Chains A and B, each alone.
Chain A
């Protein structure tokens, strides 16, 4: 290597070190955010959670006055990403955008290297109710049909899930225990595989997000929500059919343990404002998501109640911590 090149490299290295030292020494208390904020998403880019994150990205960046970076850290049902988020410096520059499973159901299945209750709630983003569905050619026209059929031949009707301990599984555990029936559980890798099995008549029942119903031309039997869904006004809620439970898929924004309160307050205000932006409302409509903002306090209570309920339901199904 010629001498001047080596000197240039050394100089560049020194300059870099200097910059890094100065940056590190800056007080974190200055008005947040003064540099890009990273949203860590524990699911792959292009997945359902990621799409929501990227749809919100420009709107949040505009309001925060800084870049929003999306980082996907994937694997092991989202727990790898959750672990990394928990380890992040609680300075408000790494936030965690996640589906609830890593906080409310995974902890009941296996030891995890993070405290699910350690995360600081910032705000809930959406709330999409789960729906029990069958194919259009299915003999079952209502939840009562399924229950009756299952009583007649216990363990013969099958339901699909996207894996043990996932919401499609937990909702069906809830139905089985309330109705005192037994269906056979067939877990699949993801909802695409389930759709193939459902349309191919390999499994009978599935409980998942409502948007699958028009996509795959399915028959909804019951909505796991307090009220009927506007898109299916004729489909009764599960409560109307005697099963008083509500289950929904939602996304929440959290900070690692110790995230300063100013950050939480400012971020949750920005989030609330963003979700009311007509452009965002339009974007959500395109993605078939129901907005469902919750403030930090409400979200904290909500996570706690979901955590306890899942613990009970999973215990009933014999899912225990390893």
Chain B
């Protein structure tokens, strides 16, 4: 703690404050615009940091990091399109709430949950970074494989309606993730001679197609808005404390899950949000209402994805190993400053590191205040007539899909995903499992194959000498069996109640 005063001295100045304000506003906007997202937002800001001092430039990058993860929830709630993949699980309950006219409340839940998640993980980062970083190192390929296997079970949690449809959608996602260059061998898979596919299918355009475009297509084919008569409240409203207390377990669990997933390199905020969501679906107080516009779902997703920010900084700052793609770009910001990220980062720059922690906490608070302040203007979007709203969503989607890599091929990806997604939606296939498959697929495959190289091709060897992996795979097995039993029971009940009518 002897570094606290010099650290305060370092960050309590106008430049740092300005960097936090500008970074937060910019991050929220970049997060909320579909497709643009965290990595791009930080990247755009990087050139400006060349001429800045270390403290403000780190403040700028941290502010953008936190607020863009939060910003994604705004478009998820308002236009059924996750602004960033991290908010894909926020759509599930956020959008139904907005449709019901409760957008103000949905933004309130999401904002406060994000704030709590962010602050929780910052606290963990400050108190336990070095020890937790060692924990991250104990996750080799075999342990990571087991963790992803467990994460994949959340497909069951987010499959509304039919479990079979959900599983098929998950497999489709896993398959789409195999398209492109196989880094293990350098071979290109499933490109059908199309050179652009050698780079694989980009996640963001796919997401935009599946969510934004299918929504536009669906509204076009069903122009009568059933909720048109509803009063659509605008603004920002935070639920009373009592409501929060009813959902405290999910809130705490999601903060912990988010932080832990953030600490383990190779996964990221979208994974964390889905795991928390499916945990809420399994054990939450309002689990039966999840997916119909229940705040508990929002709490799970948003607390968790913002908790990843502090978690992902644990290996980044303690070991110099970025926890997710966003922190990887943040390391560039350090390198530009001539600060070498790595195992000595903490020891060599204690003031700057403690300063970053203070800044990180401040960023989360500024983010929530700005989000609340912007909400009245943002929620007005919902009162826009459809002939204005739909073209707007369409334009934003196209810009977003193109903006990630500046590759026209991605527009095609978004369009195809939109059309296919529309038909899948008509067939009652949920979109979220496709995203889960796409997000987890590459890491899952890579770690499985690395594990098999290390064990000379023996899968059984995964179970000896890898206690963490054994526990995780055991839990995975139990979760799958429970899900199948639950599904069978539901079917049994369903057929029992419908039987008299049928008979």
Contacts and interface: CB of A to CB of B under 8 A. Distances in A.
B195 A319 contact: no
B198 A47 contact: no
Interface stretch (B253-261, B327-335, B393-401): B327-335
A248 B500 CA distance: 77
B43 A189 contact: no
A79 interface: yes
Interface stretch (A17-25, A123-131, A211-219, A255-263): A211-219
Interface string B347-370: 000000000000000000000000
A112 B191 CA distance: 13
B93 to A, nearest CB: 33
Contact of A197 (B39, B140, B328): B140
B407 A76 contact: no
B321 interface: yes
Given A75-B405, A200-B137, A164 B186 contact: yes
A163 B186 CA distance: 7
30 contacts: A45-B40, A45-B46, A50-B332, A73-B406, A75-B196, A75-B198, A75-B200, A76-B199, A80-B198, A80-B199, A109-B186, A112-B195, A113-B195, A163-B186, A164-B185, A164-B186, A185-B453, A186-B453, A187-B184, A188-B183, A189-B446, A192-B265, A195-B320, A196-B136, A215-B344, A216-B319, A216-B342, A217-B344, A286-B337, A288-B340
Contact of B454 (A46, A195, A202): A202
B446 A197 contact: no
B138 interface: yes
Contacts of B343: 215-217
Nearest to B338: A286
Contacts of B340: 211, 214-215, 288
Interface residues of B, number: 54
A226 B328 CA distance: 32
Contacts, number: 143
Interface string A166-202: 0000000000000000001111110011011101101
B141 interface: yes
Contacts of B40: 45
Contacts of A216: 319-320, 342-343
B433 interface: no
A187 B454 CA distance: 11
Nearest to B184: A187
Nearest to A322: B187
A192 B328 contact: yes
B188 to A, nearest CB: 6
Contacts of A195: 319-321
Contacts of A112: 195
Contacts of B6: none
Given A46-B43, A46-B329, A76 B137 contact: no
A193 B447 CA distance: 11
B452 to A, nearest CB: 10
B494 to A, nearest CB: 44
B336 interface: yes
Interface of A: 44-47, 50-51, 54-55, 57, 71-77, 79-80, 83, 109-110, 112-113, 158, 163-165, 184-189, 192-193, 195-197, 199-200, 202, 211, 214-217, 286-288, 319, 322
B325 to A, nearest CB: 9
A185 to B, nearest CB: 8
B376 interface: no
A158 B451 CA distance: 12
Given A80-B196, A83-B195, A158-B454, A196 B42 contact: no
Given A110-B188, A200-B140, 15 more contacts: A44-B43, A50-B332, A72-B405, A80-B196, A109-B187, A163-B186, A164-B185, A186-B450, A186-B454, A189-B183, A189-B446, A196-B137, A196-B321, A199-B319, A217-B344
B198 A51 contact: no
A214 B342 contact: yes
B466 to A, nearest CB: 11
B459 interface: no
B228 interface: no
Going nearest first, the 10 A-B pairs with the smallest beta carbon separation are A75-B199, A215-B342, A164-B186, A286-B338, A45-B43, A46-B329, A76-B198, A200-B137, A76-B199, A163-B183
A77 B188 CA distance: 11
B139 interface: yes
A98 B34 CA distance: 30
Contact of A200 (B139, B187, B202, B341): B139
B50 interface: yes
A4 B340 CA distance: 59
B60 to A, nearest CB: 14
B320 A46 contact: no
B180 interface: yes
B178 interface: no
B320 A215 contact: yes
A233 B328 CA distance: 30
Nearest to A108: B186
Interface in B27-55: 39-40, 42-44, 46-47, 50
A46 B42 contact: yes
B181 interface: yes
Most chain B CB neighbours (cut-off 10 Å) among A57, A79, A200, A322 = A200
Nearest to A199: B137
A202 B183 contact: no
Contacts of A54: 46-47, 50
Contacts of B195: 80, 83, 112-113
Nearest to A213: B342
B405 A73 contact: yes
Interface in B103-155: 136-141
Interface string B292-324: 000000000000000000000001000111100
A163 B184 contact: yes
Interface string B195-238: 11011101000000000000000000000000000000000000
B101 interface: no
Interface string B413-440: 0000000000000000000000000000
Contacts of B39: 44, 46
B29 to A, nearest CB: 18
Contacts of A319: 186
B203 to A, nearest CB: 12
Given A76-B188, A80-B199, A188 B450 contact: yes
B406 A71 contact: yes
Contacts of B181: 76-77
A76 B197 CA distance: 9
Contact of A73 (B44, B332, B407): B407
A46 B332 CA distance: 6
B329 to A, nearest CB: 4
B266 interface: yes
A79 to B, nearest CB: 7
Contacts of A288: 340
Contacts of B140: 197, 200, 202
A79 B184 CA distance: 17
